[in-house]
């Protein structure tokens, strides 16, 4: 395999990798895929339908697999979490209706990448909505860029998103764990591109020069939610999507009266 065919997603959020068959993945392609992921923040690979073995092997080619801190995995593949939404589930958005970056509330060893494969996909609903931290940062006014250069965000597992996550935990029979809180810079740089890291679903405060700035927090949350930075990805069965939690935010869209099953792997 020499060339990967890349085409950007809507609003320049992420990239489709077309004509790629992960069932026949060559070593030479894996480094390229990783570079594309770092450059675009999220990659979309349609219609792969991988076995758990192949799915896990692809994830290993991106990085070291980590067990998700709160949910159990498949019996033979402990790194694969099953995310299942049932028709009777009441919550409007599965997995949280706030843009967020997974596990931003961990102080150390935040898993970098999240990978999902569509196992059972309802027609016309349950999109995953992505917002590009690269694009959002690039479009900030210069004075804000300067102002947030050394700003710190305080992120908590008990942030706005936690209600839906607790429902998942209750169903999995996992006791709600103690609240985890961490601070991280809100600007990160990946391969020379700066990106906004504010995980609205977990963000509690923004601190600049030792002082909380609530207005800036509201401004930035509003900014990353603007239509111009958003791509709503419509899933197909067997699709594999990988995103970089440093540079891309995501959330689930409205979903009701249907079953939806995804397999998730978290990668360092």
Q: By the criterion CB under 5 A, which residues form the site for Fe ion? A: 102
- CA geometry: angle 206, 103, 149, nearest 5 deg: 30
Q: How far is the CB of 102 from Fe ion (least distance, A)?
A: 5
Which tokens sit at 73?
A: 């995995």
Q: How far is the CB of 130 from Fe ion (least distance, A)?
A: 11
Q: How far is the CB of 96 from Fe ion (least distance, A)?
A: 6
Nearer to Fe ion, 102 or 244 (CB): 102
Which tokens sit at 188?
A: 């990160």
Which tokens sit at 56?
A: 């896990």
Nearer to Fe ion, 102 or 239 (CB): 102
C-alpha pair distances (Å), 149 with each of 144, 195, 199, 215: 8, 11, 17, 16
Dihedral pair phi/psi, residue 83, rounded to 5°:
-105, 110
Q: How far is the CB of 192 from Fe ion (least distance, A)?
A: 26
Nearer to Fe ion, 26 or 177 (CB): 177
C-alpha pair distances (Å), 82 with each of 38, 105, 266: 26, 22, 12
Nearer to Fe ion, 25 or 153 (CB): 153
Residue of closest CB approach to Fe ion: 102
Given a contact cutoff of 8 angstroms between Cβ atoms, the answer to whether 45 and 239 are in contact is: yes
Nearer to Fe ion, 40 or 102 (CB): 102
Rounded CA gap, 113 and 268, in Å?
6
Q: How far is the CB of 264 from Fe ion (least distance, A)?
A: 9
């Amino acid at each position: 395999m020499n060339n990967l065919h890349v085409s950007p997603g809507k609003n320049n959020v992420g990239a489709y990798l077309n004509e790629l068959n992960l069932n026949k993945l060559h070593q030479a392609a894996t480094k390229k895929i990783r570079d594309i992921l770092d450059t675009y923040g999220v990659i979309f690979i349609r219609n792969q339908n991988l076995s758990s073995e192949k799915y896990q092997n692809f994830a290993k080619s991106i990085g070291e697999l980590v067990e998700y801190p709160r949910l159990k995995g498949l019996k033979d593949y402990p790194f694969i979490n099953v995310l299942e939404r049932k028709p009777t589930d009441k919550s409007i958005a599965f997995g949280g209706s706030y843009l967020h970056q997974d596990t931003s509330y961990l102080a150390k060893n935040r898993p970098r990448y999240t990978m999902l494969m569509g196992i059972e996909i309802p027609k016309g609903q349950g999109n995953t909505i992505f917002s590009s931290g690269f694009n959002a940062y690039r479009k900030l006014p210069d004075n804000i860029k300067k102002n947030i250069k050394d700003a710190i965000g305080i992120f908590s597992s008990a942030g706005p998103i936690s209600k839906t996550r607790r429902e998942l935990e209750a169903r999995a029979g996992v006791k709600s764990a103690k609240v985890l809180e961490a601070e991280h810079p809100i600007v990160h740089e990946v391969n020379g591109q700066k990106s906004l890291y504010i995980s609205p679903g977990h963000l509690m405060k923004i601190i600049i020069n030792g002082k909380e700035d609530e207005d800036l927090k509201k401004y930035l949350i509003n900014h990353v939610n603007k239509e111009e930075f958003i791509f709503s990805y419509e899933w197909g069965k067997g699709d594999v999507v990988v995103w970089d939690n440093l540079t891309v935010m995501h959330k689930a869209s409205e979903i009701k009266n249907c079953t939806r099953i995804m397999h998730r792997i978290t990668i360092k």
